Homo-oligomer: A and B are copies of this chain.
């Protein structure tokens, strides 16, 4: 049981990392159109949180959404095709990186609007409350997004109505080119929970076990009808804001050091090896499996056709 879970952690984190590395490569070459924001270095968050969720639960994601999508159970081939703008992508090529989604697994979409997901996730939770299920809804958001008015409106609404929604802040210390403390009035964003009378907790966002546990508790609380929780996952943005960002606002040394000290995948590997939970071979097998899957996804994407021009007019209205 525990071992299965650990293997799942590794598989998911490694799949995200591998996916993102390939995306970076293709995006730098100009093969992937549009803006691309990578999740490298933050894999433990999506992985740990989504391991507590079923496909009946919902997540709302951000512009940095590939990791959430993979962790929620989407297939990398249709994701890859979408990012390449192909007909076989999840959104038939209409969405791209900033609008990746797989509704069949409860992944309600990346969002190009920073802070756009708070109220949507709250609404999905409201629906489940009205329907009297015990499904929950989780919204991922950045430190930068935590300053938007939608944060406040959604947390207040969710708290008053005790909705089954968990607010997961990915505090990676940067909002685009801006260090978070220059635009955010509290060091610990979890402090803001006080303003809504709900629990707020700081979590080591690069420790998949800590993430799994803290979010598991919050999700359980939500399922039981006890209302929302605000979790702040402390992490760090390893890559530029978007692929191609010259990053003039920080040094390469700073980034390298933070990554070396705190790569969530390396930390996981060290831990499971030293505790003897997974063997080198077991991990190698996972790596091979995952790399193969992503390679196939690349092939699938490259071979897929672009959407037909008529596709422009479909999916606008139902009736």
Contact = CB atoms under 8 A, between A and B. Distances in A.
Interface string A185-205: 111000110111110000000
A194 B196 contact: no
A166 B254 CA distance: 39
Given A185-B198, A195-B192, A195-B194, A153 B149 contact: yes
A156 interface: yes
Interface in A136-184: 147-153, 155-157, 159-160, 182-184
B184 A195 contact: no
Given A149-B149, A152-B147, A183 B195 contact: no
Size category of the binding interface on chain A: 20 to 34
Contacts of A159: 185
Contacts of A183: 156, 160
Interface string A31-53: 00000000000000000000000
Contact of A152 (B151, B157, B194): B151
A195 B197 CA distance: 12
Most chain B CB atoms below 10 A, which of A147, A149, A150, A182? A149
A183 B151 CA distance: 16
Contacts of A196: 185-186
Contacts of A191: 194-195, 197
Contacts of A197: 185-187, 191
Q: Which 9 A-B pairs have the closest CB atoms?
A: A149-B149, A152-B152, A159-B185, A192-B195, A194-B194, A185-B196, A195-B195, A156-B185, A149-B153
